[in-house]
Amino acid sequence: MTPEEIADSLRRSVEIESGKPLVVFKDPAVSGHGSVRVATPDTAMHVLRYPPSADVQLPYLTAFHCGMLLRSLRAESPQRFDLVSTAAMRTETQQLIQAHLKTSGADVPESLIPNLCSQLGDGLGIQLRSMPIAIRVDHWLWQQYPSLQELQRTNVSRQLQESMQTLGPSVRALVPLRMLNANLAMNCAFAMFWGELWGEPELAVPYTLAGFEAAGRQLLEMVRSIDSHPNGDRQLVEQWASHLNLTAWYRTVTKQ
């Protein structure tokens, strides 16, 4: 199958298994990997938005997001979950960020600090919720759909390059160590996965040199050892949260 045929096939699977259409929009307000709004009992459709710059990558992006949706749909009801932040996350991250900015010298206007706190706290939760499962979905796509690999590699290579920015001094000036370490450990696991799959272990070297080799390997081992069926995804996210010392900030809840 061509990449377009793969994307169409997976899109149809989502629509059949969920009973709702998946609508795809080009949206200039969206960046990176695109985003999906999953249909609820009260909404008529799933919505995938992608940036105009990703036109060429659309078959892969569609396949990837459909893979993520299908894992959720194929989990038994008690194992279908959302990740929510706790009150402690809001309070503690704000305290950490405010204290960090006072010592780092980052020039952040006081009026922008609440938005920065929300951005960093929510972003870390999104990464925790998506990255371990994304590794499983990407591995499945790589194995099952060879004709998609060129687009997949281009997109993932861009992700890996963008993630490297978190090692830079500008990010360290903004992000408290506890939050940054969790982010970098997850980035390391992601880089290790692709480095091993592509035979390019150097992809993870910047993270291993920064001290995240052990944490990255432990996270990646969880992806491989915890039940690979969609029913195991909830446990996988919970185990990542525990290993990263994030259980006080984020918790899984069963989807209604």
| pLDDT number for residue 61 | 96
What is the residue type of 169?
A: P
- Residues 69-95 have a mean pLDDT of 95
- Smallest Cα–Cα separation from 104: which of 164, 179, 167, 172? 172
What span, in angstroms and rounded, lies between the C-alpha atoms of 72 and 254? Answer: 11
DSSP category for residue 57? T
Res. 105 pLDDT band, cuts 50 70 90: confident
What span, in angstroms and rounded, lies between the C-alpha atoms of 141 and 122? Answer: 27
What is the residue type of 255?
A: K
Chain segment 191-208, per-residue pLDDT in tens:
999 999 999 999 999 999
The model's pTM is 0.95
Chain segment 33-45, per-residue pLDDT in tens:
888 999 888 888 9
- Smallest Cα–Cα separation from 223: which of 199, 197, 249? 197
- Average pLDDT over the chain, rounded to an integer: 95
Token reading at 53:
């710059």
Chain segment 51-67, per-residue pLDDT in tens:
998 999 999 999 999 99
Residues 6+ apart with CB under 8 A from 125: 83, 85, 89, 249, 250
| pLDDT number for residue 111 | 87
The total of other beta-carbon atoms located within 10 Å of residue 87's CB is 8
- Report CA-CA distances (Å) from 159 to 84, 94, 104, 154: 25, 27, 27, 9
| pLDDT number for residue 217 | 98
Predicted confidence (pLDDT) at residue 256 exceeds the cutoff of 80: no
Residues 6+ apart with CB under 8 A from 147: 1, 2, 3, 6
- Residues 119-143 have a mean pLDDT of 97
Residue 204 contacts residue 219 (beta carbons within 8 Å): no
Q: Which segment of 93-107, 169-183, 232-246 scores lowest on mean pLDDT? A: 93-107
| 55 φ, ψ (degrees, to nearest 5) | -55, -45
The strands making up 35-37's β-sheet, listed across from edge to edge, are 22-26, 46-50, 35-37
| pLDDT number for residue 106 | 86
What is the residue type of 180?
A: L
- Residues 86-109 have a mean pLDDT of 92
Residues 6+ apart with CB under 8 A from 171: 165, 180
| pLDDT number for residue 107 | 85
Res. 180 pLDDT band, cuts 50 70 90: very high
